[in-house]
A and B are shown apart, each in its own frame.
Chain A
Amino acid sequence: MLQKLMRIGAAAATLVLIAGASAGADTIKVGIIGPLSGPFALGGKNFKAGVEAYVAVHGDTVAGNKVEFVYRDLDGPDPGKAKSVAQDLIIKEKVQYLGGVYLTPSAFAIAPMLEEANVPLVIFNAATSSITQKSPLIVRTSFTLWQTAVPLAKQVAKDGVKKLIITVTDYGPGNDAEAAFRKTFEAAGGKVVETIKMPLSAADFSPFLQRVKDSDAEAVFAFLPSGASTVGFAKAYVESGLKEKGIKLLATGDVTEESGLQAVGDAAIGIRTTYHYSLVHDSALNRDFVAAATKAIGNADELSFPAVAAYDGVHVIYKMIEATAGKQDAKTAVQSVSGLAWESPRGPVKIDPVTRSLTQTIYLREVAKENGRLVNKEIASYPDQPDWGLVK
């Protein structure tokens, strides 16, 4: 009985595969997995805006093939759901490419099935360095915390700061940011006087900042996941009097991420961060991107960094479709974009053939007010930064 069922199943699977192969000739489906509802919904909205912006600028036809995007919601860090959503896209929707993925555990869950499915995955956000090592078919167009934290640590040491305190959220990316900053800062001769790990659910940051005040540190490095907590932290920093005391707040750009920045208010002015992208990056390409993405998202206050990663992610997918002439060949597709360099709205970027993450310019920015809006104004740049988490 079971054998018979297995045979029926196998036959059905074969049919699916044949159907998948023949469908590839005209319409190519791309599955986008992101948080379209729930607490991270803004990230998913930005994915969608980035994708739509790219299609608006470059069209939906590549090498004679029409590209169709299929969205699936993955509302939180749930690897089980991530896997079945990806299976659903691959098996039922017969997508040739996967894109998106906001959180690391989801990427880990999808990685093992890619080779059997013959589908490349372009990560639009999830920022843990080791993700691209989980499958040779993963390419990432976002950033890693090592990438953004290392140049900041070097700059801080160069500016003559000797004693520093680290405050990070106590979870994977926070630990990454801490390790990257500490290693680089200490190698440059600085001293980390204390590390404070704040719970992910913390809403009141004054006790942590009191400890910063009590220490003899000259500056504080912070990492928090973008969203409500960064707004609370930036506000608490100002209210605690640390700013007046002259203790500088240094952070990765997550803390002054654009969709939360207006809520912090003028108190944020002067906070310095390093990041791979600012909405006010000065280039014609970026202005076009912001215009198209703002139109796609509908509300200018919601536009933020995941949109540019999605925009570049679609660029990479288009290049892969071109290189394989629309045929489903994941390995060739990924090989064809290894080492690919192009001009992104964020500046020059290149896919590192070894890490399959972007090598890109990281900018030092300062929060300033322009035309009544708070922006991250770029004041210095560090070109060609690899993913320092994998490139030692």
Chain B
Amino acid sequence: MSAVTARPSPLRGDFIKLAAVALAGLAALVLFPNDLGLMTRIASSAFLVVSLDLVTGYAGIATLGQAALFGLGAYAAANANLAGLGEPILMVAVGGLAGAVAGLIFGAVVLRSRGLAQLVLTIALVQLVHEAANKLSDITGGSDGLSGIDVAPILGAFRFDLYGRTGFVFALVLLLATLAVLSVIVRSPFGLKLRAIGRDPGRVRTLGAAVMPALLVTFTLSGAVAGMGGAIEAISTGVVGLDSVSFERSAMALVMLVLGGSGSLYGAVAGTAVFMGLESIISAANPFHWLIIVGVLLIVVVLFVPRGLTSLAGDVRRLLAIFGLRRDKR
């Protein structure tokens, strides 16, 4: 595929995709002013799915425990708020920091094994965090959720409103900034090494490159991204529940990643938006049987578009080339 789509500068392609996300976000703001609550949830969940993509899509380590990092970021930001930190930007920083630390520890534990054992380890970790959060109800609110989060206006100027405009713009801007930074990272020599590790870690090791430190850095980075997402959700929802550190949340993130296409930052974002958007539309239309419809749709996508929705873009390009509508640069 790379031969077909060779471009003068790979970063230019990234810029176009970033601009597309920005445009889609702004279009949502104008076209769906009544759905910004959902849009904000999509943006904060996109952080979780993107963070999962770094570990699974790029570094090749399957995990079903990513929500642990997301939720820890959310709890950290919420606790910082309850302790008197009102500024949302600082809350996101706290969430990102907590996520990074958690990601480092998570990585250090998970990377001790490989394959299926590793997958089981990630499940065990998220369950442990979930149970700990249930037990430590003084700082997590237990199963009732941690409520009473009172967020100050952003930079003292933009108040969070009922329609969720401020919350959405806040989440969107942070998402775009994060995607910009990450797309530079995944194009860097470090990012290329990460892809190589994802394909064949043994080979990278024989080439003389250190695998373990690179993976630990990835887990830390991934934790930071997930933690920021958790903090944004805590800010926009005002409550942090046990679901934010649950296995279910982790598994759903993996479903969204597969739907969008793993190993691509924008695939992660697209998967989140498509899945949660469809879920919302279908569940509003038929609140009683929507799960069945969503399940069938997922099966159809996995059977017919196994590499994820973003792979469709390449297919369309190829089709256009076949019909001579687009000059092929081969």
Q: Which residues of A contact B (CB under 8 A)?
A: 2, 5-6, 8-9, 12-13, 16, 36-38, 71-73, 75-84, 87-88, 90-92, 104-105, 108-109, 111-113, 116-117, 128, 134, 170-173, 175, 199-200
Find chain B residues with CB under 8 A from A92 CB: 34-35
Find chain A residues with CB under 8 A from B244 CB: 80
Interface assignment of B200: CB less than 8 Å from any CB of chain A: no
Interface assignment of B134: CB less than 8 Å from any CB of chain A: yes
Asked if B147 and A87 sit within 8 Å, CB to CB, the answer is no
Q: How far is the CA of A364 from the CA of B39 in the complex (A)?
A: 48
**Which of B134, B239, B288 is packed against the most chain A CB atoms within 10 Å?**
B239
12 inter-chain pairs at a CB distance below 8 angstroms, sorted by A residue, are A16-B34, A37-B290, A73-B288, A75-B291, A77-B241, A77-B243, A84-B38, A105-B147, A105-B243, A109-B241, A117-B162, A172-B137
Instruction: Give chain B's interface residue range (CB within 8 Å of chain A).
Output: 35 or more
Asked if A109 and B142 sit within 8 Å, CB to CB, the answer is no
A5-B30, A92-B34, A105-B144 in contact; A80/B288 too (CB < 8 A)? no
Find chain A residues with CB under 8 A from B144 CB: 104-105, 108, 128, 172
Asked if B143 and A37 sit within 8 Å, CB to CB, the answer is no
A5-B30, A170-B135 in contact; A104/B145 too (CB < 8 A)? yes
8 Å CB contact of A72 from B37, B169, B236, B287: B287
**Which of A77, A84, A87, A175 is packed against the most chain B CB atoms within 10 Å?**
A84
Asked if A172 and B241 sit within 8 Å, CB to CB, the answer is no
A79-B145, A81-B41, A109-B237 in contact; A91/B162 too (CB < 8 A)? yes
A37-B290, A38-B291, A199-B131 in contact; A171/B142 too (CB < 8 A)? yes
Find chain B residues with CB under 8 A from A72 CB: 283-284, 287
Asked if A91 and B34 sit within 8 Å, CB to CB, the answer is yes
Q: How far is the CA of A164 from the CA of B218 in the complex (A)?
A: 53
Find chain A residues with CB under 8 A from B131 CB: 199
Asked if A172 and B239 sit within 8 Å, CB to CB, the answer is no
Asked if B41 and A175 sit within 8 Å, CB to CB, the answer is no
Known: A71-B287, A78-B243, A108-B144. 9 other contacts (CB 8 A): A2-B169, A80-B241, A87-B37, A87-B164, A90-B162, A91-B163, A105-B239, A113-B162, A172-B137
Q: Interface on chain B toward A: helix, strand, loop, or mixed SS? A: helix
8 Å CB contact of B142 from A8, A83, A90, A172: A172
Asked if B147 and A171 sit within 8 Å, CB to CB, the answer is no
The total number of A-B Cβ pairs within 8 Å is: 132
6 closest A-B pairs by CB: A105-B145, A84-B37, A171-B143, A87-B37, A79-B239, A73-B287
Asked if A79 and B142 sit within 8 Å, CB to CB, the answer is no
User: Chain B 27-44, CB within 8 Å of chain A: the 1/0 string?
Assistant: 001100111111011001
> What's the minimum C-beta distance from A247 to chain B, rounded to whole angstroms?
28
> What's the minimum C-beta distance from A68 to chain B, rounded to whole angstroms?
15
CB-based nearest B residue for A170? B134
Q: How far is the CA of A83 from the CA of B236 in the complex (A)?
A: 9
Asked if A105 and B287 sit within 8 Å, CB to CB, the answer is no
8 Å CB contact of A13 from B33, B35, B239, B289: B33
